[in-house]
Amino acid sequence: MDATCDDGDPCTTSRCDEGLCTHERAECDPGPIACNDDAPLTSLQVLDQGAGGVSGLDAPTAVAVTPNGATAYVGSGAGIGRFDSMSSTSLDYRPVALTVAPAIRALALDGTRLDALTDVALLSFTTTPEGPLGAPASTPLSGGLDLVAVSGGRRVLLDASGLRLLGPDGATLATLPLDGGRRLASAGDLVVALSDGALSRVLVSPESLLETGSVALDGGDHVSLTADGAIATVARVCHHDVLLFGVAGEVPVLTESLRPPGVIPECPPLGRHVEFGPIVDYEIRLWRDLHPYAFPAAAMVAGDVVVTAPLHGAALAEWGAPTSLGSRSVSRSTGDRLPSLEWQIGRHDAFGPFTPLVEARGLADLAVAGTRVFVTSRLGESLQILDSATGAQQLLQRGMYGGIDGLSGAYTLRLSPDGKNVYVAGRTDDDIGVFRVLESGLLERRRPAALERDGALATDAPRPGGVVRVAVSPDGRLVVASDLSSASLHVLLRRAEDGELTWRARVSLEVCDGRPPLATDVVFSADGRQVYATDFQFEGESCIQHYDVVGDELVHRRTTRDPAIAGVESLDVSPDGRFVYATAYRGRALVALPRDEATGKLGTPIATPNDALYGAEFVAFTSDRRFAYVGNPVDGRLVTLSHDPATGEATVLSVTESSDDEPLRGAAGVKLSPDDRFVFVAVRQESRIAVYERNADGTLVLFGHATGPELAFVNDLVLSADGSRLYAASSHAGTLSVWAVRPCHR
| pLDDT tens per residue across span 32-55 | 555 555 678 888 888 875 443 335
Question: How many other CB atoms are found less than 10 A from the CB of residue 279?
Answer: 15
Concatenated DSSP letters for 430-441?
SEEEEEEEPTTS
| pLDDT tens per residue across span 618-632 | 999 999 999 999 999
pLDDT beyond 70 at 744: no
| pLDDT tens per residue across span 283-308 | 333 344 455 566 788 888 877 677 77
CA distance 518 to 512: 10
Q: How confident is the model at residue 239 (pLDDT cuts 50, 70, 90)?
A: confident
State the chain's mean pLDDT as an integer. Answer: 80
Q: How confident is the model at residue 451 (pLDDT cuts 50, 70, 90)?
A: confident
List the beta bridge partners of residue 643.
650
Task: Determine if the peptide bond prior to 102 is cis (ω within 30°).
Answer: yes
Give the pLDDT confidence score for residue 201 in this predicted structure.
97
Give the pLDDT confidence score for residue 280 in this predicted structure.
28
Q: CB of 194 within 8 A of CB of 184?
A: yes
pLDDT beyond 50 at 164: yes
Is the dihedral angle over the CA atoms 181, 185, 190, 194 positive or is it negative? negative
CA distance 400 to 402: 7
Residue 665 three-state SS: coil
Query: Comparing 88 with 619, which gets the higher pLDDT?
Result: 619
pLDDT beyond 50 at 350: no
CA distance 116 to 31: 35
- SS (HEC) of 621-654: ECCCCCEEEEEECCCCEEEEEEECCCCCCEEEEE
Query: Comparing 491 with 331, which gets the higher pLDDT?
Result: 491
Q: CB of 562 within 8 A of CB of 535?
A: no
Question: How many other CB atoms are found less than 10 A from the CB of residue 304?
Answer: 15
DSSP state of 378: T
Backbone phi, psi, residue 738, to 5° = -120, 130
Give the pLDDT confidence score for residue 453 in this predicted structure.
59
Give the pLDDT confidence score for residue 505 in this predicted structure.
93
Backbone phi, psi, residue 662, to 5° = -140, 70
Give the pLDDT confidence score for residue 18 in this predicted structure.
45
Q: How confident is the model at residue 274 (pLDDT cuts 50, 70, 90)?
A: very low
Q: How confident is the model at residue 311 (pLDDT cuts 50, 70, 90)?
A: low
DSSP state of 321: P
- Percentage of residues in the chain having pLDDT higher than 90: 48
End-to-end CA distance of the chain: 30
Amino acid in the structure at residue 286: L
pLDDT beyond 50 at 324: no
> Largest alpha-carbon pair distance within the chain?
89
- Residue 522: exposure state from Cβ atoms within 10 A (0-12, 13-18, ≥19): buried
Give the pLDDT confidence score for residue 569 in this predicted structure.
93
CA distance 381 to 106: 16
CA distance 34 to 271: 37
Give the pLDDT confidence score for residue 16 in this predicted structure.
54
Mean pLDDT of 497-501: 93
pLDDT beyond 70 at 260: yes
pLDDT beyond 60 at 371: yes
Bridge pairing between strands 271-273 and 354-356: antiparallel
C-alpha distances in angstroms, 124 versus 93, 130, 139, 140? 21, 18, 8, 12
pLDDT beyond 70 at 440: yes
Instruction: With CA atoms as reference, report the closest residue to 220 among 236, 204, 231.
Output: 236
CA distance 480 to 553: 10
| pLDDT tens per residue across span 567-583 | 999 999 999 999 999 99
CA distance 734 to 401: 11
Is the dihedral angle over the CA atoms 619, 624, 625, 628 positive or is it negative? negative
CA distance 262 to 266: 13
Residue 493 three-state SS: strand
Q: How confident is the model at residue 392 (pLDDT cuts 50, 70, 90)?
A: low
| pLDDT tens per residue across span 196-220 | 999 999 999 998 999 999 999 998 9
Give the pLDDT confidence score for residue 52 in this predicted structure.
36
CA distance 452 to 450: 7
Is the dihedral angle over the CA atoms 349, 670, 736, 32 positive or is it negative? positive
Instruction: With CA atoms as reference, report the closest residue to 585 among 619, 627, 559, 558.
Output: 619
